[in-house]
Structure 1
């Protein structure tokens, strides 16, 4: 077994401390918790909270700040945060206008988020929850996982919330975005789980895993490694089935953790050449990773004037800054 550089029992807490140490003008750690919150927020603003297991950096703590999240909860690696942690984030984000939880569709995240909502309601804090399920690799929409499309939901909802919108309007825009965003991923290597220093699954050098999740889950199909061009075609075929044919698009190409930016942009070019659609926004980089996994995910969002305007709105977080 390879010797680890960091103690896996403390790596999440150490990561949060390091993130704050490097970005203390933007964010702070809520004392006694694994919650990252904004340094400052406009008064009487609806609060936005997201979170989940760690290992997906920069999600979600990297998106706390102006124009996105007010608080992010970090569980242990690939493990849902407890309800008490979500509740602490809700309390920190609440300014009297209520709090919206943006939760990826994993059983633990949803269950603990709902328990935190009950705790908040008992304290008189209004809450709503929107569940994100953009992964088309899973056929049943109710079982679909939340993956990289989550970041676009956070960006759009955060931009609206910054304008002083109500809790119900923030929920409306989040649900609208969820209904229009679809994603799918492919892995060339599995990720390495810190606690055991072992890969999450076995994959031969000439194989790729299609339709993987972000927690090291096996995909829906395993096949011989294909070129970037053919991989783009494969993912587009699945994602485009659920995107309105006439809608302009936002495109997000996401690295899974150890895919070089050079390769991400090669893949982005292959996707754009094959799409032959009105692409109004393009994002390429590591937005929602799976530790050190090599691979990419493709996200398409069918935009209209409203969604497009919020994608273009100013944002200032550790990971995403846009004037």
Structure 2
């Protein structure tokens, strides 16, 4: 006989008591619906989770307390909602500072200018950012102004997303997505060796030129207190059929096309977009069987660890069986989210050796 009472209560676990959610105090999708409170609280958390970091809440900047005395300083920035990118990467061997905008919105030129003043520019400053129009325009303007003051400052823009092809991106270039994290990691580690600004910039550009990414999702992001931009598209994604929208935009933008297939089919299409040399519109890759590669499988924010593990395994199997590729290193986790987007991205980085340094 089934036990009486609430069927949702496990028989060995006492019911939850003492918690009441008042009407209007939260939503069914978010605990915090005020975006200002959400952003400021999340930024302040960086100071307590990273003892070497400090927070300028007014300008939404996270920076190292320790000052670099003998190396190039790296900075980055983007809209909030991509955590841990980039506030989570402030630390020795990576970023000296990062600056954040509103949710999925670029930081202002003024914020960037303040961030530049918070790092040691003695050996130069390198900004590494994703290729999005607002980010590029504001960083370029701030850096141009900063250079005029006599501080050596360079900019590397990462455009690793192959999902839209050359024709659709010919005006502004490919967007930057999770492959940017690999560029930051390599450039940061190289800077820590005491390399010059010119050397670190060259390595960052070389890495950016050899990293390819593509993403796929089965839902759009849900921004607190804001409806999705393309409600019809979201309703299509929310149908009972298992499907995916390939190259779903990181900022609520619709994808390049929809797939109504299972996971192996979705992964197969994504890898084809990354590695199909016959596709003149998308063939950015120079990857061949036997090349040394790094694979980064990125959770866009809404996947469980269990599901991400299964997806990573499927990607690895197809890479080896279909393309003869067995990555030298595989990273799987949440490196660049888009709030709670239910999806993942795949990044492939071709590795070269330069001056006894494993870099692309």
With the length of structure 1 as denominator, give the TM-score of the two structures: 0.90
SS in 2 for 1:12: helix
Select between 176-185 and 187-196 the one with higher mean Cα deviation.
187-196
Given the alignment of the two structures, is residue 270 of structure 1 paired with residue 314 of structure 2, yes or no? yes
Aligned residue in 1 for 2:31: 5
| 8 Å Cα contact 1:193/1:200 also seen in 2 | no
The separation in 2 between residues aligned to 1:102 and 1:310, in whole angstroms, is 19
Other-structure match for 1:183: 213
Distance 2:219 2:263 in 1: 15
Residue in structure 2 matching 1:285, options 297, 309, 333: 333
The 1:200–1:70 alpha-carbon spacing in structure 2 relative to 1, beyond 3 Å, is farther
Contact 1:191 1:200 in 2 (8 A): no
Report the counterpart of residue 150 of structure 2 in structure 1.
124
Matches within 5 A, 1:29-40: 29-30=55-56, 32-40=58-66
The answer for the alignment partner of 1:97 in structure 2 is 123
Q: Is the 8 A contact 2:229 2:253 kept in 1?
A: no
Q: Are 1:170 and 2:200 matched, yes or no?
A: yes
For structure 1, the residue ranges without an aligned partner over 5 or more in a row are 312-323
Query: Residue deviations 1:172-227, cap 9 Å, x none?
Result: 00110011000000001111012315576412332321111221211100121x32
Unaligned runs of 5+ in 2: 1-23, 277-284
Greater mean alpha carbon deviation, residues 43-52 or residues 90-99: 90-99
Query: Distance in 1 between the 2:133 and 2:144 partners?
Result: 17
The answer on 1:194 being equivalent to 2:217 is no
Q: Structure 1 residues 261 and 243, CA, compared in 2 at 3 Å: closer, same or farther? A: farther
Which protein, 1 or 2, shows the higher relative CO under an 8 Å CA cutoff with sep ≥ 6? 1
Q: 1:140-160: CA deviations, max 9, x gaps?
A: 264211000000000000000
* The structure with more strand, counted as a fraction of residues: 1
**4+ long deviations beyond 6 Å:** none
Query: Residues 286, 31 of structure 1: CA spacing in aligned structure 2 closer, same or farther, 3 A cutoff?
Result: closer
Residue 214 of structure 1: aligned partner: 250
Query: Residue deviations 1:3-61, cap 9 Å, x none?
Result: 353221332111101221232x1211136321101121431311111111110011000
> Per the alignment, in what secondary structure is the counterpart of residue 66 of structure 1?
coil
* Residue 81 of structure 2 is aligned to residue 55 of structure 1: yes
What SS does the corresponding residue of 1:9 show, helix, strand or coil?
helix
Does the 8 Å CA contact 1:156/1:307 hold for their aligned counterparts?
no
The aligned residue for residue 255 of structure 1 is 299
Match of 2:20 in 1: none
Query: What is the CA-CA distance between 1:254 and the residue it aligns to?
Result: 0.4
2:271 counterpart of 1:223: no
User: 2: distance between equivalents of 1:274 and 1:208?
Assistant: 18
* C-alpha distance in structure 1 between counterparts of 2:204 and 2:328, whole Å: 19
Structure-1 separation of matches of 2:249 and 2:356:
27
Change (3 A) 1:301 1:216: same
Q: How many residues align?
A: 309
Q: What is the aligned partner in structure 1 of residue 287 from structure 2?
A: 244
User: Any idea what SS the aligned residue of 2:35 has?
Assistant: coil
Q: What is the CA–CA distance in structure 1 between the aligned matches of 2:35 and 2:330, rounded to whole Å?
A: 35
User: Aligned equivalents of 2:230 and 2:180: distance in 1?
Assistant: 23
TM-score relative to the length of structure 2: 0.81
Give the Cα separation in 2 of the matches to 1:98 and 1:29: 22
Give the Cα separation in 1 of the matches to 2:329 and 2:66: 28
C-alpha separation between the residues in 2 aligned to 1:308 and 1:57?
33
Residues 43 and 57, structure 2, Cα contact 8 Å, conserved in 1? no
Greater shift, 125-134 or 241-250, is seen at 241-250
Contact persistence 1:192–1:200 (CA under 8 A): no
Paired residue for 2:351, among 268, 287, 303? 303
Q: Which has the greater radius of gyration?
A: 2
The verdict on how the C-alpha distance between 1:139 and 1:154 changes in structure 2, with shifts beyond 3 A counting, is: same
